[in-house]
Amino acid sequence: MKTPNPVDLLFADMDKLSPGDDSLSLYVLRSLPQHHFEVVVDAGCGAGRQTIVLANELGTPIQAVDSYQPFLNRLKRRAKENGLDHLVRMHCMDMKDIPSVFPTIDLLWAEGAAYNIGFANALTTWAKAIKPDGFAVVSELCWLREQIPDAVRKFFRSGYPDMQSVPQNIAVAEEAGYKIFNTYTLPKEAWMKDYYDVLEPRAKSLVNHSDVAVRDFAIETLEEIETFNVSEDSYGYVFYLLQRST
């Protein structure tokens, strides 16, 4: 029997693969000082929730990059359903290779994805390809307060040991060659609606699955949600709105 892929089982048919919301992506996009971009890259686009927002709003081709073909297949279907297939271009590749494929970017967007190659490394790597005065909008999981409940600290010690505070990430962005002109923290609702409220019952239904990898992923997901519930706002997802320094 074929081993089930835990990611496919847990995230089946979900548009959102990380906290976020179309209205918030749009809000952040509209808060940029410029609204016309020629080369737009959506790094780690997943099933393309935000890709559809970008294509719809900008009316320009969006280069959607992800290393997992099944997610790109879902994006392809959704782009078609939304009448945007002429604007969404899919690329199954590693986001670290973006500069060699797209050497002159006007807007690089990455929601809930940069951490895969490390936030600092992602910003430094992409800076090479972003035009002077071009933009990067990158969201990242961050510490929001100094007081962190013990259970939360313990979870992230192994869950995301590289997590930084907002001022630390701003320093990282400046060091990587960007000017920062704004940050935006996702509200709690963006974690729950169509994300944890879908994942939680699914994960509960998979904790006794016959496949150990599926069981482990389900348990890990429930621990993540429980950590969020006791987080006391100590961490969150933050958008960094950046402009490449000239």
Ligand X SMILES: C[S@@+](CC[C@H](N)C(=O)[O-])C[C@H]1O[C@@H](n2cnc3c(N)ncnc32)[C@H](O)[C@@H]1O
CB of 156 to ligand X, least distance (A): 16
- Residue 17 interacts with ligand X (CB under 6 A): yes or no: yes
Mask: binding to ligand X, 124-153, rule CB under 6 A, as x and -?
Answer: ------------------------------
Compute the Cα dihedral for 123, 127, 129, 132 and give only its sign. Answer: positive
CB of 219 to ligand X, least distance (A): 18
- Residue 44 interacts with ligand X (CB under 6 A): yes or no: yes
- Residue 64 interacts with ligand X (CB under 6 A): yes or no: no
DSSP helix/strand/coil, 139:
strand
Return the residue of 113, 122, 141, 176 that touches ligand X, per CB under 6 A.
113
Residue bearing tokens 């505070």: 165
Return the residue of 32, 56, 68, 211 that touches ligand X, per CB under 6 A.
68
Q: Which residue is nearest to ligand X (CB)?
A: 46
CB atoms < 10 A from the CB of 36, how many?
Answer: 9
**Residue 218 in contact with residue 9, Cβ under 8 Å?**
no
> What is the DSSP pairing of strand 130-143 with strand 235-244?
antiparallel
- Residue 177 interacts with ligand X (CB under 6 A): yes or no: no
> Which residues are within 8 A (CB) of 200 and not within 5 positions of it... i.e. 6 or more apart?
221, 222, 225
Find the length of the chain: 246
Contact set with ligand X (CB under 6 A): 16-18, 20, 44-46, 49-50, 65-68, 71, 94-95, 111-113, 116-117
